[in-house]
Amino acid sequence: MSQVPSKYLELIRSFRLRPIRSDTELAQATKVLHQLLDAERLTVAERDYLDVLGNLIEDYEAQAISIEDLPPHEMLAAVMESREINQVQLAKETGIPVSTISELLSQRREFMISACVELPSAMQERGGAGGSDGDNAQDLAGDTTDVKKKTRRQKTREGRIPQKKIG
């Protein structure tokens, strides 16, 4: 059996790899996570620790923190921002006129349920501009999850604590 590297043992002493059960433990885990992310180089053991720690943080957040839904116009704007595309590029990907996208974003036009369902399909069928490598519909779904997580983190930083899940 191989010897456990001392750096890894230091990390275990700073935060043991076990399920996170409180916001205090989450704060401690996040502090260690950021220290590792800020490091210029990581050993294999440190990368493994970072991987597991990230999963523990994600598991706790998924159970303890609810992610509030964004209004459709904010979600569309956030997805466009995360994909680094503008209204013209989105119009090319979806076949939706730029004027309609502008009206949706400015809330001069309401989102129809059919549009919310058809938008990812249209992006998939036309192949996208926005730097997407894979299935655009899947990318859009992934983008909305990422946007919700970013929004939750931003609200936490601003002092607006997310609601805890009940039950």
pLDDT bucket at 153, cuts 50 / 70 / 90: low
Backbone angles phi, psi at 129, to 5 degrees: -85, -70
Residues 30 and 79 in one domain: no
Predicted confidence at residue 149, as pLDDT, reads 55
Residues 90 and 30 in one domain: no
pLDDT bucket at 6, cuts 50 / 70 / 90: confident
The total domain count for the chain is 2
Predicted confidence at residue 1, as pLDDT, reads 60
List, as one string, the DSSP characters of 52-99: HHHHHHHHHHHHHB--PPPPHHHHHHHHHHHHT--HHHHHHHH---HH
Residues 28 and 57 in one domain: yes
Question: Which residue, 34, 64, 94, sits at the end of a domain?
Answer: 64
Q: Given a cut of 60, is residue 127 above it in pLDDT?
A: no
Residues 90 and 143 in one domain: yes
Domain that holds residue 26: 6-64
The first and second tokens of residue 72, run together, are 């459709």
Residues 118 and 93 in one domain: yes
Residues 80 and 150 in one domain: yes
Q: What would the pLDDT profile of 32-85 be if each residue is shown by its tens digit? A: 999 999 988 989 999 999 999 999 999 998 888 766 777 888 888 888 888 889
Does residue 165 fall inside a structural domain? no
**Cα-based distances in Å from 131 to 26, 33, 63, 74:** 33, 28, 32, 21
Predicted confidence at residue 120, as pLDDT, reads 65
Does residue 166 fall inside a structural domain? no
- 49 by Cβ neighbours in 10 Å (0-12 / 13-18 / 19+) ranks as buried
